[in-house]
Structure 1
Amino acid sequence: MIRIQLSTTHRLFRPLALAAALIAGILRVSALTLAPLLGDGVVLQRDMAVPIRGAAEPGGQVTVVFHGQTKNTKAGPGGGWLVWLDPMPADAKPAELTVTSGGKTVRVRDVLVGEVWLCSGQSNMELRVPRVDNAATEIAAANHPLIRHVKIARATAPRPATDAEGAWEVCSPETVPNFSATAYFFGRELHRRLDVPVGLIHSSWGGTQIESWMSADALRSSPFWPAIQARWQERLDEYPARLAAYKKAKEKWERESAAAKKENRAPATKAPRAPEGDGSRWMPAALYNGMIHPLLPLAVRGVIWYQGETNAARPDEYADLFPRMIGQWREDFALGRMPFYFVQLANLTRKSDSTGQLWALQREAQMAGLRQSDTGAAITIDIGNSNDIHPGNKQEAGRRLALIALAQTYGQGGEYSGPVFERVERDGNRLRVFFSHAKGLNARLPGLPGFEIAGRDNTWHPAQVRIDGETVWLSSDAVPEPVHARYAWHNDPPSSLYNEAGLPASPFRSERPPAVAAP
């Protein structure tokens, strides 16, 4: 049997049901406390009802005061309580939120009201500011007290948990080294353009797969659920042997390390890494249960997501799971069509990939997220590092995410996407490729390398390329009857086509319909 708690009762854990559960007694604490995210320095979401929750003496009267509002409630039988503050405008003046019950008072200081975003994914979201390009300059300039960041502690859970740990930090040269770089540069651009406080709730874990960030219900709805179960079971079955091998390797390493220490030299190898078994980050739904669900109920403007590397070997599966995850998070947050913007994987040489196209397939799979409304993709095919899965130009990744949010969420207009493939039409021995977001198409590299065409035999040849307005003509003497076109269809391709906003075209192949209609 698969040793994972995937109770069908999980569907009860929606914000309103969760609120009732909290009040009914899940927390079972007698001291007056607030949910960990409601700490000093917190940014509350403007223009939305904001949940304030915690625990108190069961049955005790609880009063919350903030921003001219007073809200009263009673703690449930287990001590849990919840109130909702009415929507508030942005406010950059630090204020105090007080909660009183049973003669006790808890004060939350330095509270701001502004824009709040959830920032999630794997290592490229987790990567911190000191690892970016020009890090010293960025850190020295990070004097932005109205930008706040909280890192949710890593946690797994077999079933949906109700609380997460994390402390807010005010952005400064001293604290910004702890910030997610992608989140910080996204938030910095929002703050610059909107001139309101920005709160960044950072919940990520390096090397993790999408199925760990999805709920049990969402996973079960996928036709790939049996395969996901089988992989997890295989990992569990292999764990005893892997653990035994690890212990043996560790003992050997410790002996060699002790000998090296006596000789005043460093160990020749790194310590072996312990295998991960039941309850680990690889368990389906484990990170949703431990790092997303505990945030609920929560008022945020939207989500930014940087993940997909760990799932790159299974692009068809990802194309199915990603839209499901977006829909499921929206259902759980109960914020309507909560904006969800993501980073498409950057260029990277994958020496272990004999096809040279695995990440091209995964980039296409990521674009399936656009099947959901109010989504957007930050194309980063031109700012990767060929030899590093963690590219250092997070400034541009964050800025491109912010462009989407500013245009789609905040209505500021402006181009926010590079050219995205729409369709291809044949005209004799040529193909004409149509794009959305194609105003001012231009070539950054002579000859526009990266375009290829093929006939019905699917033999690909480099194309001769000519830009014509918002379209591109392709031809090749080697392909007299072209049928298919593709662009940047390799792990680490040249990026040559841009629009007038300086944003790169997304990789595509025409022989398979695009994941979505062009946004």
Structure 2
Amino acid sequence: MTLLKPNSLAALLLSTAVPALADVTLPALFSDHMVMQADVNAPVWGWADAGEEVTVSLAGHQATARTGADGRWRTNLPPMKSRAEPLTLTVEGKNKLVIQDVLIGEVWLASGQSNMAFQFSRGQYAQAETEAAALPQVRMFTVKAQSTRAPQERCEGAWVVATPETVGAFSAVAWFFGKDLHGRLGTPVGMINSSWGGTDIAAWTSEEAQAGVPALKEAMESWKARAAAFDAAKAEAAHEKRLAAWKEAVRKAKAEGRPAPRGPRKEAHPDVSQNRPANLFNGMISPLIPYALRGAIWYQGEHNCATVEKASLYATQLPLLIQDWRARWNKELAFAWVQLPNFEQTAPRPLVREAMLKSLSVPNTGMAVTIDAGEANDNHPKDKKTVGGRLALWALAKVYGADVPAWSGPLPAGHEVRGGEVVLGFEHTTGGLAARGGELRGFMIAGTDKVWKPGTARIEGGKVVVSSAEVAAPVAVRYSWASNPDGNLFNGAGLPASPFRTDDWEITAP
């Protein structure tokens, strides 16, 4: 065996490193089984040596780019029609990359917290629908979780073709959404799942966007202060103390034949928290930009129900996130979200639902009302088929112009006081208004004293009339204004009405 002198070893390492630096590389999104967005200019980008020319080829189209001084290059492939036959994407500079089994179709981003991350295998329909998941034209890319203080260019993940063996790990909501689009449009569908449980909407929005909003900037400054004050030694000592107490609790539980308690978590530095503002935008959204998308679906908000103050900010935060993402992708990016379902908790959940309803004022947006699809005792309801299906109804109707019976449940459209009654107007009353499962319920009514009483409600054509013998001069009505309400107003297409209120009175407690 020949031993190399230190300077010879350095020369060898340098000689082997140089070709690696010269290699053209791509983001993880550009990999086997990928789906590219049809009918738009499709950005392709990556890294190479400064000045290196890179050629991208797909389906007879070519585009070139010259790498900048920063080692980055980017070009666009021209708009192409949807194609289900597998294509090969080649990227060539000093080396050649070959990406196999590329389809052209519809690409959507699916993001949010645990109910978007919720896997198909855990859902209500897993057993019944697994065999039907043999759909090779539907693919999913799941972004590996990473929380960072600076915007990242790279993420980890891989495109996976839908089969009965692979679908279990897919986001259930994203799967049912994509499956319905594919079934109706007949085109390939690619879903990019970038979600993380228990996270705040602020984590998914860029720091630049939030810095322009005083209330959000204040929260960011608070996180900076927490980071500056963090004492790693104290955190370690506190963890050791909790760990010792936990070990004793485990010993006692074992002796008494009880399940062992969950172990304590070590306090992490605030800089790496998944809830620090912008951290998930930096780590899990930034690396995806500018991959061509048709739109995004969003299932988040549970974390923002913690306090009235947090919930009240959501009406600012959701439109801001949409604006932020559109500024980075394109202003036409379609965007729809899931209005939080029913769940029994002492929290201002109705305020977040109201913020979601109000956010429909943002153009080219939609909302899936799921007030009937939750579970009173589980914040992670297992029926994700209904959720994904309702999001797909909106996309089919409003993004693709498909003829669907209805794409929204009844939404409030004005009201008037008529003597001792309040008359409520609605839009999206396809097939007429209906009370599902008995007499119409879920309405509360109040006068100027702001004391709420149960309302008696009846349907008159496309309107609902509410009154109460206890409220002689009503001024306001609320519908399904509770965390786990029992309202039963639907339209004739079987879609539920959104919770709402006609008043704007200050709410100080859940």
3-state SS of the aligned residue for 1:177?
helix
3-state SS of the aligned residue for 1:34?
coil
CA distance in 2, matches of 1:394, 1:48: 30
CA distance in 1, matches of 2:235, 2:375: 33
Aligned partner of 1:462 in structure 2 is 454
Q: Is the 8 A contact 1:33 1:55 kept in 2?
A: yes
3-state SS of the aligned residue for 2:320?
helix
State yes or no: 1:160 paired with 2:156: no
* Structure 2: 5+ residue stretches without partners: 1-19, 506-510
> For residues 48-68 of structure 1, what are the alpha-carbon distances to aligned partners after superposition, in whole Å with 9 as ceiling and x for unaligned?
111111222332221111011
Q: Is the 8 A contact 1:30 1:79 kept in 2?
A: no
Aligned partner of 1:341 in structure 2 is 336
State yes or no: 1:390 paired with 2:373: no
> For residues 423-450 of structure 1, what are the alpha-carbon distances to aligned partners after superposition, in whole Å with 9 as ceiling and x for unaligned?
1101111110001112310010322110
CA distance in 2, matches of 1:88, 1:33: 24
Which amino acid counterpart does residue 436 of structure 2 have in structure 1?
R
> For residues 204-239 of structure 1, what are the alpha-carbon distances to aligned partners after superposition, in whole Å with 9 as ceiling and x for unaligned?
111000111111111111131244135425654477
Q: Is the 8 A contact 1:29 1:55 kept in 2?
A: no
3-state SS of the aligned residue for 1:481?
coil
3-state SS of the aligned residue for 2:214?
coil
Distance 1:79 1:238, change over 3 A: closer
- Tell me whether 130-139 or 82-91 shows the greater mean CA deviation: 130-139
Quick one: which of 109, 131, 139 aligns to 1:148?
A: 139
Distance 1:503 1:112, change over 3 A: same
CA distance in 1, matches of 2:29, 2:490: 41
Q: Is the 8 A contact 1:323 1:368 kept in 2?
A: no
Q: Is the 8 A contact 1:327 1:372 kept in 2?
A: no
State yes or no: 1:79 paired with 2:46: no
Which amino acid counterpart does residue 380 of structure 2 have in structure 1?
H
Quick one: which of 185, 189, 195 aligns to 1:194?
A: 185
Which amino acid counterpart does residue 83 of structure 1 have in structure 2?
T
Quick one: which of 509, 515, 518 aligns to 2:501?
A: 509
Aligned partner of 2:42 in structure 1 is 50
Aligned partner of 1:10 in structure 2 is none
User: Deviation of residue 141 (structure 1)?
Assistant: 2.1
- The aligned runs of 1:314-353 (5 Å cut-off) are 314-333=310-329, 335-350=330-345, 353=346
* Structure 1: 5+ residue stretches without partners: 1-27, 514-519
User: Deviation of residue 367 (structure 1)?
Assistant: 2.1
Q: Is the 8 A contact 1:453 1:486 kept in 2?
A: yes
User: Deviation of residue 77 (structure 1)?
Assistant: 2.8
> For residues 422-480 of structure 1, what are the alpha-carbon distances to aligned partners after superposition, in whole Å with 9 as ceiling and x for unaligned?
21101111110001112310010322110111111111111111101111011111111
CA distance in 2, matches of 1:375, 1:115: 17
CA distance in 2, matches of 1:239, 1:396: 46
State yes or no: 1:301 paired with 2:294: yes
CA distance in 1, matches of 2:217, 2:253: 48
CA distance in 2, matches of 1:419, 1:506: 7
Which amino acid counterpart does residue 362 of structure 2 have in structure 1?
Q
TM-score, normalised to structure 1's length? 0.88
CA distance in 2, matches of 1:230, 1:432: 46
3-state SS of the aligned residue for 1:311?
helix
- Tell me whether 383-392 or 152-161 shows the greater mean CA deviation: 152-161
- Tell me whether 204-213 or 230-239 shows the greater mean CA deviation: 230-239
Q: Is the 8 A contact 1:117 1:304 kept in 2?
A: yes
Aligned partner of 1:127 in structure 2 is 118
State yes or no: 1:66 paired with 2:61: no
> For residues 257-297 of structure 1, what are the alpha-carbon distances to aligned partners after superposition, in whole Å with 9 as ceiling and x for unaligned?
57988x89786211112223222212111111111111111
Aligned partner of 1:289 in structure 2 is 282
Q: Is the 8 A contact 2:249 2:261 kept in 1?
A: no
> For residues 51-100 of structure 1, what are the alpha-carbon distances to aligned partners after superposition, in whole Å with 9 as ceiling and x for unaligned?
11122233222111101101222222343221110000000001111112
CA RMSD of aligned residues (A): 2.0
Distance 1:430 1:238, change over 3 A: farther
CA distance in 2, matches of 1:438, 1:76: 55
User: Deviation of residue 128 (structure 1)?
Assistant: 0.4
Aligned partner of 2:194 in structure 1 is 203
- Tell me whether 62-71 or 118-127 shows the greater mean CA deviation: 62-71
Which amino acid counterpart does residue 460 of structure 1 have in structure 2?
W
Quick one: which of 392, 398, 401 aligns to 2:391?
A: 401
Quick one: which of 469, 476, 479 aligns to 1:484?
A: 476
3-state SS of the aligned residue for 1:147?
strand
- Tell me whether 425-434 or 277-286 shows the greater mean CA deviation: 277-286
CA distance in 1, matches of 2:464, 2:202: 38
Q: Is the 8 A contact 1:438 1:471 kept in 2?
A: no
- The aligned runs of 1:152-301 (5 Å cut-off) are 152-229=143-220, 231-233=222-224, 235-236=226-227, 237=229, 243-254=236-247, 268-276=260-268, 277-301=270-294
CA distance in 2, matches of 1:446, 1:239: 59
Which amino acid counterpart does residue 481 of structure 1 have in structure 2?
A
CA distance in 2, matches of 1:266, 1:286: 39
CA distance in 2, matches of 1:238, 1:32: 41
Q: Is the 8 A contact 1:326 1:369 kept in 2?
A: no
What percent identity do the matched residue pairs reach?
42
CA distance in 2, matches of 1:304, 1:191: 16
Aligned residues: 478
Q: Is the 8 A contact 2:428 2:491 kept in 1?
A: yes
Which amino acid counterpart does residue 42 of structure 2 have in structure 1?
V
CA distance in 2, matches of 1:444, 1:154: 41
User: Deviation of residue 508 (structure 1)?
Assistant: 0.6
CA distance in 2, matches of 1:239, 1:81: 41
3-state SS of the aligned residue for 1:59?
coil
Which amino acid counterpart does residue 91 of structure 2 have in structure 1?
V
- Tell me whether 49-58 or 487-496 shows the greater mean CA deviation: 49-58
Q: Is the 8 A contact 1:119 1:125 kept in 2?
A: yes
Q: Looking at CA atoms only, which structure, 1 or 2, has the larger radius of gyration?
A: 2
Which amino acid counterpart does residue 464 of structure 1 have in structure 2?
T
